[in-house]
Each structure stands twice: as C-alpha cells, then as structure tokens.
C-alpha cells in the first residue's frame, strides 16, 4: 500500500494534514485550556448557514462559511457578555439558527447540492487548490499570532481580570482569538466535516494533556498527535474505502487510548 505515498493527490492530502494539524494543535490547545469547546461547537454548526449561502450564491462555500463563522463567534461573545442572555443559551440559539439558514438556502438552490456530503463528513483527499491556499495562509497567521502574543494569550486565559489590571488589551485579544477559532473550524470542515470537526480540536489536546501540564508542550504534542491521526486515518480510509474524516477521528481516539493505557501502566 506504500505506493500511494507517491500519488500527487495523496501528497496533497499529507500537506493538508500537516497544515491542519498545526492549526488545530495550536487553536485546539487554546480551546481546551480556555474551556470553550461548547462555543466552538456552536460556531461550527452556525457556519453551516454560510455553506448553504455559498451554494445559493454559487461561490466557494468555505468563503461564506468563514464569514458566518466569524460573525457568529463574535456574536456569541458579544451577546453573552453584554446582555442578560446566558452564554450557553446564546450558543444554542446561534447553533440551531445557523443550521436552519443552511438548510433553507440549500433547498432554495435550484438542482441538488452535489458535494454536500463533503461538508457534513469532509474529505481530505478531494481538497481543492483554493482551500489549500486558504489553509496555508491561516496556518501562517495562527503561528505568527500565537508566537507574538503567547504570554498574553496564556495569561488572559488563566486570569482575565488580572490581565485587565495590567492594561492588557484583553477584549481585542479575546475577540481576535475567537475569530481565529472560527476560521480554523471552517477550514477544517472541508477536511473532516461539520459533525467531526470539533474532535480535531479536542482529541489530540486531550491526549497531550495526559502527558504534559505545560501549554507550549501541549501545543507541540497536539500537533504531533493530530498529524499521526491524520496520516493513520488516511491510510485506513484508502485501504478500506471509507470516508477519511471518520477514519482520522477513529485513529485519534485509538492514539488517545494507547497513550492513556501506556501512562497508567507507567505509573
């Protein structure tokens, strides 16, 4: 089966997997540490509205989904911190409303949506050149942002009020981060699909957390575990002819269990 490593489509998939692992490793570590997994789930599903709109307008759904994702991310944060609506209720509203908009637009679009399943379950093997460029730009942006503001991000996540007393631009950094979370989610929808994307941002991090309690190490380990899961998932997907999204998640859970068991034995 190793001859597939020479096929261009597979090399593309591996590059995509590497970029996605880096983005998810960094952003996911922030999501897990800050405990905003549920917000991230809300953003994921809200962005489906953008995918529907993209179909309706006949443009790349990833572009419209990015706009929907960022607007709902900022919306969830703004509504829950400035009004009396509870945060989890706000998330629930955005979550369902985005899905509803998506379904409405898809039904209003003449003909049928040919690769709708791609957005629900993802397919790393059919990723387009445009999506790869988008992912590359995002990955570079995320690396630069976290490299420059690493301390601020960690310290704000740990104690926001204290950071405010130190004159840190807490709101600006928080809103930028939640927008980055949204963009990272949307670009990964193309790879593992709406239903599974949250796992790319949480399972490698959970595995890393078993081994370290240092934020920087957690990021690096998450990237490594994410990449191994992606390649493992790709091979399983190719071998058994099943959707790559599902096999990637399957291998990441296997890695989680192996590390967990290994750690228990070592103790």
Partner 1 sequence: MEKILEIKNITAGYDKEVIIENINLDVYKNDFLAIIGPNGGGKSTLLKVILGLLKPFSGEIDFKTKLNIGYLPQLHSNDKKFPISVKETILSGLLSRRKVMNKFTSEDIKHAQELIEKFHLENYTDLPVGELSGGQTQRVFLCRAMISKPELLILDEPNSFVDHGFSVDLYNILLEMNKEITIIMVSHDTGVITSYIKNIACINRTLHYHSGSELSSDLLDQYQCPVELITHGKLPHRVLKDHIHNGD
* Contacting positions for partner 1 (CB under 8 A): 33, 35, 84, 147-152, 154-155, 157-159, 161-168, 209, 212-215, 218
Sign of CA dihedral 136, 137, 138, 140: positive
Residue nearer to partner 1 on the CB measure, 163 or 191: 163
Radius of gyration of the chain (CA): 19
Task: Locate all alpha helices (DSSP H) within 35-159, ordered by sequence.
Answer: 37-46, 48-57, 61-82, 87-108, 116-121, 129-148, 150-158
Instruction: Name the nearest CA neighbour of 24 among 239, 213, 179, 183.
Output: 183
Pairwise CA distance, residues 235 & 69, whole Å: 31
What are the angstrom distances between the C-alpha of 8 and each of 70, 100, 192?
Answer: 33, 38, 20
For helices 48-57 and 61-82, give the axis angle rounded to 10 degrees. Answer: 140
Residue nearer to partner 1 on the CB measure, 167 or 264: 167
Distance of closest approach, residue 249 Cβ to partner 1, in angstroms:
23
Distance of closest approach, residue 218 Cβ to partner 1, in angstroms:
6
Residue nearer to partner 1 on the CB measure, 89 or 166: 166
What are the angstrom distances between the C-alpha of 9 and each of 13, 29, 211, 239?
Answer: 6, 29, 34, 15
Residue nearer to partner 1 on the CB measure, 34 or 45: 34
Pairwise CA distance, residues 37 & 123, whole Å: 23
Distance of closest approach, residue 215 Cβ to partner 1, in angstroms:
4
The angle at the Cα of 250, spanning 229 to 252, to the nearest 5 degrees, equals 35
Distance of closest approach, residue 204 Cβ to partner 1, in angstroms:
14
Residue nearer to partner 1 on the CB measure, 131 or 160: 160
Residue nearer to partner 1 on the CB measure, 37 or 116: 37
Distance of closest approach, residue 236 Cβ to partner 1, in angstroms:
31
Sign of CA dihedral 89, 90, 93, 95: negative
Distance of closest approach, residue 150 Cβ to partner 1, in angstroms:
8
Distance of closest approach, residue 146 Cβ to partner 1, in angstroms:
11
Helices and strands (H and E) in the chain: how many: 14, 0
Residue nearer to partner 1 on the CB measure, 14 or 149: 149
């Amino acid at each position: 089966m190793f001859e597939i490593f020479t096929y261009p489509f597979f090399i593309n998939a591996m590059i995509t997997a590497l970029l996605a692992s880096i983005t998810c490793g960094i952003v996911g570590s922030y999501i897990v540490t800050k405990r905003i997994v549920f917000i991230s789930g809300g953003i994921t599903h809200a962005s489906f509205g953008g995918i529907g709109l993209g179909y309706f307008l006949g443009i790349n759904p990833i572009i419209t989904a990015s706009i929907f994702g960022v607007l709902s991310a900022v919306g969830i944060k703004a509504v829950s911190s400035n009004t009396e609506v509870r945060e989890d209720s706000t998330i629930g509203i955005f979550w369902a409303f985005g899905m509803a908009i998506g379904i409405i637009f898809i039904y209003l679009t003449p003909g049928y949506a040919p690769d709708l399943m791609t957005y629900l379950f993802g397919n790393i093997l059919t990723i387009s050149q445009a999506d790869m460029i988008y992912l590359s730009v995002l990955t570079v942006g995320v690396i630069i942002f976290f490299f420059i503001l690493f301390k601020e991000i960690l310290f704000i996540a740990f104690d926001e009020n204290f950071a405010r007393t130190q004159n840190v631009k807490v709101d600006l950094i928080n809103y930028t981060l939640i927008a980055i979370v949204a963009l990272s989610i949307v670009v990964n929808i193309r790879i593992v699909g709406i239903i599974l994307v949250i796992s790319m941002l949480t399972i490698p991090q959970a595995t890393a957390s078993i081994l370290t309690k240092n934020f920087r190490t957690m990021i690096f380990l998450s990237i490594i575990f994410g990449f191994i899961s992606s390649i493992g998932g790709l091979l399983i997907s190719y071998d058994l002819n099943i959707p790559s999204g599902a096999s990637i998640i399957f291998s990441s859970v296997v890695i989680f269990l192996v590390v967990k068991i290994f750690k228990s034995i070592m103790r």
